[in-house]
Structure 1
Amino acid sequence: MHIDVIRTEEEWAEMAAEWNKLLDNSITNVPFLRHEYLTAWWQHRGGGEWPVSELFILTGRDSDNNLLGIAPLFLSKNHAGDPALMLLGSIEISDFLDVIVKEGDLETFLDEILVYLAGPESPKWDYLDWYNLFETSSTLPALEKLSGKHNLHFQQERIQPAPYITLPTDFDEYLATLEKRYRHELRRKMRQASGYFIPVQWYVVEDEDNLEAEVDDFIEMMREEKEKDAFLTEEMVAQIHAIAKAAYKGGWLNLFFLKVGKEKAAGYFNFDFNDHVWVYNSCLARKFSQLSPGIALLGFILQDSIEKGRKEFDLMRGDEDYKYHLGGKDRFVVRATVRKASPR
């Protein structure tokens, strides 16, 4: 296996088809590693999170030039100010990241990467600083093993939970898995919305011509939460639009709204990818809070996902109570760092 470096957006764009093809069979197949997602992320550097950064994607190919591995990296200073190679998508808005490689090629690929990064063509770096890997990722034990081989220091730390729901084939069967009080509460809120004196309906955005306006509406409702309003800088708003467009064109955007009469009351910005539903963000109009439109809409989306045969409902990073009330089970994401024995 030989290692090549992608340092320009033009070179990267040419890889789109083979990138996503490899991802389909990779150890971690998540929407945040899709070519269209990461190029949208790079366009705005994660909503301005990494204004000073350089593209540094490492690829591994065999003697016939078949793509075997991708380390989607960029070079920047990490939050401690050290020169670091980070995973594209880091840190705040991409819930799950990893290298892109089949299980059988993983150790060889990582070994070749570490050899390359110790060589004369490597840029200046002190750390591999990789956030948001699943705690179960095969990358972690392989990287730990190879760090010892190359006289590097490996460290792993748990960052936060990322609850998920394994979906059964029937909505009533799903409801039966919930604690009694939460099952009754979800049913009550869904019935209340369905029987409200003003007509309530939910829909998913399908028309590309309306996408920008619908995302604008979503963002305006997000601003009703003080914390989200502070998050929504001009650059972050542009980032959200870019991700929405990329996911729509990729065929895996599910932008849901619940309307009360003619007014939007709640929304979910989800990804429908690889038989999983990924709950990326949400918004709520406070004036309709007595209707609990957010939980009601989430119930309708869960029901719709089960009817469509989706296998998993990922509630993403964070330990908010509602995730566990809906039956979420914890898994965790971690940060892995590889440090040179004597940082430069």
Structure 2
Amino acid sequence: MRNNDEWKTFPAGLSSIAPRVGPFAQRPFLEAVWQHRSDQNAQLHIERSTTGGAAVVLSNGVIEFAGQADLTDYHTPVGQDGAGVLVSALERFGDMPFRLDSLPHEAVELITGALLEAGVSHVVTDHEATAVLALPDTYEEWLDSLGKKQRHEVRRKRRKFEAEFGEIAIEHHKGDALEVFCTMHRLSAGEKGQFMTSPMQDFFSELLLSVGASIHLLICHGVPRAAAFGFETEDAYFYYNSAYDPGAAMASPGVVLLSSMIETEIDRGAAVFDFLKGDEQYKFRHGAEARPLHMIEGRTP
């Protein structure tokens, strides 16, 4: 783990220039990624004004956002002048290529405008997409919005799961459930079982301690059978990671956990359930729609 006093200069209290991007644009998340960054030679720079802020790194000869793309689902500067501040940050490095990934279109419009104003040539390409579910007022309304086959599957798999393991309850936890979550990961088959290394567990611990993440456990008769790791804001839930008890694998714990989490967030009054990056079909079968993300590449003069 490493730290950098420069993070103290990142402006607090400024909103991201794109809406509903969760914790990913703010200092606590970005600093957590920085502390656990795999590229130890990356050079951090934070640019700020009274109305904007941006954190970038120079890594392997390219200027990028400070959050690594494989850990950070949305990138955007913060504040009313965030786009202009970002361009100033790029220019600090002189004649260097830059690659700005994971940008919602609202951020792209503002950043490209600032780049044009500064005379910086660039191109915009499609990058990835997140999957976002607009939540209705009730769980039954959500079920009714699904196709007939998917609605039947959600109900059938929950009935089967409860018949096998007992009535389902969702419990909200913080760091006290981290070991349970990590153990589920390590017991998983294939590549998933290799994901939760000790450094990765330290990163997830930091997200719980400093970024406001939470763990929801799916409990049956007092036994955790699945776990969701994510971030709750006032009106949204960001589904960052999940794991389940391999002993429950034959009863579709992933589907049961997901439908239970959607029900939990509807009951909480959230308006959005964000599955984050990835085009896995289960997200869209559960009603999500793609939110395209873009990349801006160019070279500072």
TM-score after normalising by structure 1: 0.78
Identity level (%): 24
Aligned equivalent of 1:239: 203
Aligned equivalent of 1:258: 218
After superposing on structure 2, the runs of 4+ consecutive aligned residues of structure 1 that deviate more than 6 Å are: none
Q: Contact conserved, 2:236 with 2:270, CA < 8 A, in 1?
A: yes
Structure 1 CA distance for aligned equivalents of residues 167 and 120 of structure 2:
62
Structure 1 CA distance for aligned equivalents of residues 90 and 29 of structure 2:
26
Residue 220 (structure 1) aligned with residue 198 (structure 2): no
1:52 aligned to 18, 41, 55, which one?
Answer: 41
Structure 2 CA distance for aligned equivalents of residues 309 and 200 of structure 1:
20
Report the 3-state secondary structure (helix = DSSP H, G, I; strand = E; otherwise coil) of the residue aligned with 2:250.
helix
The change in CA–CA distance for 1:225 and 1:200 in structure 2 (over 3 A counts) is: same
* Structure exhibiting the larger radius of gyration computed from Cα positions: 1
Per-residue deviation, 1:14: 6.0
Map 1:1-40 onto structure 2 (within 5 A): 9-13=4-8, 15=10, 18-19=11-12, 21-23=13-15, 26-28=17-19, 29-40=21-32
TM-score after normalising by structure 2: 0.88
Report the 3-state secondary structure (helix = DSSP H, G, I; strand = E; otherwise coil) of the residue aligned with 2:71.
coil
Residue 126 (structure 1) aligned with residue 96 (structure 2): yes
Q: How many residues align?
A: 297
Aligned equivalent of 2:161: 193
Q: Contact conserved, 2:239 with 2:274, CA < 8 A, in 1?
A: yes
Instruction: Give per-residue Cα distances to partners, 1:95-122, cap 9 Å, x unaligned.
Output: 11111122xx356545xx44x754xxx3
Q: Contact conserved, 2:33 with 2:68, CA < 8 A, in 1?
A: no
Aligned equivalent of 2:282: 322
The change in CA–CA distance for 1:202 and 1:274 in structure 2 (over 3 A counts) is: closer
Q: Contact conserved, 2:103 with 2:293, CA < 8 A, in 1?
A: yes
Q: Which runs of 5+ in 1 are unaligned?
A: 1-7, 61-66, 78-82
Per-residue deviation, 1:321: 1.5
Structure 2 CA distance for aligned equivalents of residues 9 and 198 of structure 1:
48
Instruction: Give per-residue Cα distances to partners, 1:276-320, cap 9 Å, x unaligned.
Output: 110000112222122222211211111111111101000111111
Structure 1 CA distance for aligned equivalents of residues 189 and 235 of structure 2:
31
Structure 2 CA distance for aligned equivalents of residues 129 and 315 of structure 1:
24
Q: Which runs of 5+ in 2 are unaligned?
A: none
Report the 3-state secondary structure (helix = DSSP H, G, I; strand = E; otherwise coil) of the residue aligned with 1:315.
strand
Q: Which amino acid aligns with 1:13?
A: K
Q: Contact conserved, 2:77 with 2:83, CA < 8 A, in 1?
A: no
